[in-house]
Amino acid sequence: MIDGIDVDNDGFLDVAGIDSSMSYGALFGSQSTLNLDFDMDGSFNSEDLDDDNDGVNDVVELGWGNLDADDDGVIEGTDNDMDGFINNPYVDNNATFGATPGKVNENTNDYDGDGYYDFLELDSDNDMIFDYAEDFNPYYALDANQDGIVDGTDTDGDGIVNAMPVDTNNTYGANAGSQNQVTMDTDGDGRINSEDIDSDGDTALDSLEWDGNFDKVGNDDCDNNALPDFLDPYPCNIAMPDAFSPNGDGINDVFHIPGLQSYPNNTFSVYNRWGTAVYEMNKYTNDWNGTSKVFSGIGGETLPVGTYFYILNLGNGTDPLSGFIYLNR
């Protein structure tokens, strides 16, 4: 319950942003339907099981998925004290009007601390990956314009877009079992993927694994096992190319090593035929364009066509990889 007093006896507590006047009624505009329906889907937030329409049910983004036994977005139980909160040990374990003090804290619902609650934010951990892609990856294909909002209609008015495999029923709530807080936490660290910058716990940030091949498409799956790299804790096998052609034609202009995104602590070094280092980089990110750059700070020169020798240390304790690269133009 909101704490405060109602000086003008209009039923609204006198607090800034809602009712700071002495006249009967709240502040003009404070109860606008636009403010009360965040995703503008026709269902007020208070009646919407997915307020931001990001494909992740509010109950999961609030961290209460464990209270939703059948994973349909609606908490099961009874409200014995008629305060609107289901009585359970976590949220409301008292017999008075109101939840248990301290259990519903707005600050705990803003993972990245940007001032927007997770259930009203399309990228809760601010890692440049939409929440639906992290928590319920099949939804990725349902966002044709890639705006972070699931496309479709909500025919039963529960705030969840009616689409396979989440909500195909005509009742309030998603399909039973469609969203499980445990399975939405890939590495089991207690945070759902959309509130975790390393969802699979492999030490490689989701933001790096999302588009590891830098093709600006994302949702990469380097081993084609139907599990995106940022949700796959087992690194891909390194596939070292033997040539590239940095000539500005948009094809093979950088030396790209497939699978390297799984080894963020790598060191990549390149040497010319005389054994002189011409390129050195800690945490190489597949962006060498054929110019020189070494740890001493010397570099920037366009390297000539020829064969070069490389050493790639993956940074995981295994023996370094080495071989030859042909640079063509």
pLDDT tens profile 186-212: 889 888 888 888 998 887 788 878 887
Largest CA distance in the chain: 87
- pLDDT at residue number 71: 75
pLDDT at site 271:
97
Residue 292 has pLDDT above 80, yes or no: yes
Domain count, the chain: 3
Same domain, 67 and 129: yes
Q: How far from the centroid of its chain's Cα atoms is residue 64's Cα?
A: 18
Rg (CA), the chain: 26
Residue 238 lies in a domain: no
Express as a percent the part of the chain with pLDDT over 70.
74
Q: 66 and 172, same structural domain?
A: yes
Is 225 within the bounds of a domain?
no
Answer yes or no: is 106 within a domain.
Answer: yes
Q: What is the pLDDT of residue 26?
A: 41
User: Do 309 and 193 share a structural domain?
Assistant: no
**81 and 144 in a common domain:** yes
* Structural domain contains residue 128: yes
46 compared with 279, residue with greater pLDDT: 279
More confident residue, 72 or 27: 72
Given the structure tokens 């002189």, which residue do they identify? 276
Domain shared by 21 and 115, yes or no? no
Same domain, 27 and 84: no
In a domain, 99, yes or no: yes
Say yes or no: 18 and 114 in one domain: no
Split at pLDDT 50, 70, 90, the class of 262 is: confident
Tokens representing 268 are 């990549």
Q: Nearest Cα to 122, choosing from 104, 139, 105?
A: 139
In a domain, 235, yes or no: no
**Last residue in a domain, options 197, 216, 235:** 197
User: To which residue do tokens 């008075």 refer?
Assistant: 96
Q: How confident is the model at residue 47 (pLDDT cuts 50, 70, 90)?
A: low
The pLDDT value given to residue 108 = 56
Asked whether residue 177 is domain-assigned, the answer is yes
Instruction: Judge if 41 and 7 occupy the same domain.
Output: no
Residue 320 in this model has a pLDDT that exceeds 90 = yes
Query: What's the mean pLDDT in 162-185?
Result: 80
Q: Peptide bond before 165: cis, by omega within 30 degrees of 0?
A: yes
Question: Would you say residue 55 has pLDDT above 60?
Answer: yes
Closest by alpha carbon to 291, among 265, 323, 255?
A: 255
CB 102 within 8 A of CB 94: no
24 with 57, same domain?
A: no
Residues 119-124, mean pLDDT to the nearest whole number = 77
How high does pLDDT run on average in the chain? 77
pLDDT tops 90 at residue 272:
yes
Residue 256: which CATH number?
2.60.40
Range of the domain at 10: 1-31
At 59, list the tokens.
């109950």
pLDDT score for 150: 78
The listed range with the strongest mean pLDDT (21-30, 73-82, 244-253) is 244-253
Tens of pLDDT, residue by residue over 223-239, are 888 888 889 888 778 88
Domain match, 101 and 13 both: no
* C-beta of residue 88 within 8 angstroms of C-beta of residue 94: no
Residue 290 lies in a domain: yes
Q: Sorting pLDDT into bands at 50, 70 and 90, what band is 308?
A: very high
What pLDDT score does 7 carry? 44
- 92: three-class secondary structure by DSSP: strand
First to last CA, the chain: 69
Q: Which residue, 169, 173, 183, 170, is CA-closest to 136?
A: 183
Residue pair 2/16 in contact (Cβ under 8 Å)? The answer is no
Task: Return phi, psi of residue 229, to 5°.
Answer: -55, -35
- Same structural domain, 175 and 303: no
Please tell me whether residues 109 and 158 are part of one structural domain. Answer: yes
**163, 197, 231: which is the final residue of a domain?**
197
233-260: average pLDDT: 88
Q: Across residues 2-9, what is the average pLDDT?
A: 45
pLDDT of residue 90: 63
Token pair, residue 113, equals 């601390």
Tokens linked to 121 = 């934010």
Gap between the Cα atoms of 206 and 219, Å rounded? 10
pLDDT at 58: 74
| Residues 17-26 pLDDT 10s | 444 555 544 4
Split at pLDDT 50, 70, 90, the class of 12 is: very low
